[in-house]
Chains A and B, each alone.
Chain A
Amino acid sequence: MTQQPQPIGTTGASPPVVGESAHEPSSPRPTGAAPAVAGRSPARMAWERLGRDRVSLVAAGISVIFVVVAIIAPLLTAITGWGPITPDNKAIDPNSGNYPLGSFGGVSFNHLLGVEPGTGYDLFARVVYGLRTSLVVGFSSAVISTVLGAVLGMAAGYFGSWIDSVLSRVMDIFLAFPQLLFIIALTPVIQAALQTNEHGGTNENLRLLVLVINIAAFAWAYTARLVRGQVLSLREREFIDAAKIMGAGWGHILFRQLLPNLWAPLLISFALAVPQNITTEAALSYLGVGVVPPNPDWGALLSDASQFFLQDPAYLFIPGDLLLILVLAFNLLGDGVRDALDPRANRS
């Protein structure tokens, strides 16, 4: 049978089979009584490895800061006094095309990151609320796609035969489908379906949900392929045979035997999916099919900023750099998690 192709989105490393990790030698104790060798679980060891990795800690810290800022966004805008859709007509010059007054795009004590050209919205407020969207969509879609991928991947790998054929073909179809076109095509349908009243309002939360499902729907196949490959090798192992002999049903085998051995690759898959999904969400908004204005979103901000780039470069660089740092931090964290979970010294 063909070797399973590695899914895109991971760095191609096959995840470790955790049951084989070697115990680390305990560090020498200074004095006294005979040293007690404490057994540590793989999770504990991974955690400690992560703790020793300074770069990952910094990345984790930055990620936490972003999350906290996103959570307290309403508090922050209450402090500054400018919400994300409250325009400041005095900060822009209508005769010049609603350009921000002042330098760096209107940075001042009143507007910490300046003002958006064209509308006069406070950029700080737009950025922190846009961060919310990015994080919510990024995390939720990663959770859904990981869970869905895990379940279907396990089913395909464990049951084999026609279930595997069907599921594999379904995965192939999802992987071959041009995701972007599909989402662009569906946007007007979604828009119409989400309309809450006949005067054009849409339920923003529902729209976010649809976006999350859209992204997750195309991402699960990667996780599923990965899990399927793992399960294919795991199911020949003796502990599975032992469980079968003892009369365990497939439910028990899948969720109590196989799944615990899969948590490492799943965690890695999840950790790397988050920045990937944040990027996808920003790209969709950049193309105009993600979040609809005037709701703030980083991709939409960048798309708008590219129009005003020569006149107000700060408008591009501020969200652009922040998005870079956000994705970078999560990527670093994901790498750190992967290195921590992989006992092979070579890879770290």
Chain B
Amino acid sequence: MFRYLMRRLLAAAVILVVISAITFVTFFALPTDPALLACGKTCSPSRLAEIRHALGLDKSLATQYWEFFKGLFVDRTYGDQSITVHCNAPCLGVSFQSDTPVLTILLGDFPVDLSLGTGAAVIFLVVGVGLGMVAATHKGKAADKVAVSASLVGVSLQIYFVGLLLMWAFVDKWQILPAPSYTPLTQDPVGWFQGLLLPWATLVVIYLAFYTRLSRSSMLETLGEDYIRTARAKGLPMRRVILKHTLRAAITPIITIFGMDLASLIGGTAVITESVFGLNGIGKQAVDAVTNSDLPVTMGTTLFAAAAIVVFNIIVDMAYGIVDPRVRLA
């Protein structure tokens, strides 16, 4: 198990390095000049050159990448004119726009995505699997048909459509909820909950539908297996059959997909949800960084999102080994 984990972590590191290199190169293919943007509206050529030097953009691509890479392990200092900015290892760079270390920015945005993602994920996983189980065990009956149709519609909805309608209904028309926003849990639990309720609801509507379908079909497949028939024939109560035998086997495909979904939600790819509800998470930060040609923040957010997925992939595969006795981790 340990050797397997080490191998996977090494592979993950390689993937992240490759992604960072691709991002770096792509960034430099862009026509916009970050020094110009940082220079502002009254930019003179000499000032532009000074700013370019201060941002390190006058060095070669390879040098810049190497310095970025080094910064992951070693402290860096930026700036030579005014007071310097210190960036402690692991240093993901310093924002061109605000001179704040990227890691600080990411850690500041992360709680939003963590709250948004985890909250929604817990709900849609538990409820989705539950509904799927109900539908599978009542196949063909009314409950099943309702679940199937509703989830089909849910999967076909668009996030921004749902989000907009929910906001209009709950915030503007009926005024039950305040406008969505993020308040830290430690600061104001009630506000945290209220502010995230609509974004959670939007994500849940769509993901729930997907997980209901997924768990229904996975359960149906397992229910058709011979050993389940044997268990029923032996006289085991249906509930025991489902919970003890069927669920465990059916859960593997669900775990995989859940891992990826949770990873991408937490990693900041819920860009549309964040923009519809005005939440300042990593996704929004990433889009702003890209449009402002802020290379360090772009790198940081891309790597963060990728790392989340890679790490969760490893966790999921290890979870396989625990949950599904048929799997041997090589």
Contacts and interface: CB of A to CB of B under 8 A. Distances in A.
Q: Direct A–B touching in the complex (beta carbon < 8 Å)?
A: yes
Interface string A153-174: 0000000000000000100110
Contacts of B306: 176-178
B290 to A, nearest CB: 5
B125 interface: no
Interface in B221-247: 221, 223-224
Interface in B273-330: 275-276, 283, 286-287, 290-291, 298, 301-302, 305-306, 309-310, 313, 316-317, 320, 324, 326-330
Nearest to A325: B156
B213 interface: yes
Interface in A1-25: 1-3, 5-6, 8, 11-14
B214 A12 contact: yes
Most buried by B among A1, A11, A287: A11
Most buried by B among A2, A189, A316: A2
Interface stretch (A98-106, A208-216, A328-336): A328-336
Contacts of B14: 169
Most buried by A among B27, B256, B329: B256
A320 B27 CA distance: 35
Nearest to A329: B156
Given A5-B256, A347-B217, A178 B164 contact: no
A327 B15 contact: no
B63 interface: no
Interface in A286-332: 286-287, 302-303, 306, 309-310, 316, 320, 323-324, 327-328, 331-332
B158 A331 contact: no
B31 A192 contact: yes
A295 B327 CA distance: 51
Nearest to B32: A188
Interface string A68-98: 0000000000000000000000000000000
A8 B261 CA distance: 9
A302 B254 contact: no
Interface stretch (A46-54, A259-267, A275-283): A275-283
B134 interface: no
Given A12-B254, A181-B286, A2 B220 contact: no
Nearest to B286: A181
B272 interface: yes
Most buried by B among A11, A175, A178, A303: A178
A302 B160 contact: yes
A12 B30 contact: no
A189 to B, nearest CB: 6
B158 A346 contact: no
Contact of A316 (B29, B164, B221, B257): B164
Interface in B10-50: 11, 14-15, 18-19, 22, 26-27, 29-32
A180 interface: yes
A309 B309 contact: no
A243 interface: no
B123 interface: no
Nearest to B267: A178
B15 A169 contact: yes
Most buried by A among B257, B275, B327: B257
A332 to B, nearest CB: 6
A331 B152 contact: yes
Which applies to chain A's interface (DSSP): helix, strand, loop or mixed?
Answer: helix
Contacts, number: 153
B287 A181 contact: yes
Interface in B109-156: 152-153, 155-156
Contacts of A178: 267-269, 286, 301-302, 305-306
B73 interface: no
Contact of B220 (A188, A310, A323, A346): A346
A177 B19 contact: yes
Contacts of B291: 184
A309 B155 CA distance: 23
Contact of A185 (B161, B252, B298, B309): B298
B224 A346 contact: yes
B168 interface: yes
A252 B224 CA distance: 35
Interface in B189-210: none
A347 B156 contact: no
A112 interface: no
A189 B326 CA distance: 49
Contacts of B156: 275, 324, 327-328, 331
Given A12-B254, A181-B298, A347-B217, A2 B313 contact: no
B253 interface: yes
B271 interface: yes
B260 interface: yes
Nearest to B301: A181
B218 interface: yes
6 contacts: A2-B317, A13-B253, A176-B306, A177-B22, A178-B301, A302-B160
Closest 10 CB pairs of A and B: A12-B253, A346-B224, A5-B256, A328-B156, A327-B156, A6-B253, A176-B306, A178-B305, A176-B309, A1-B330
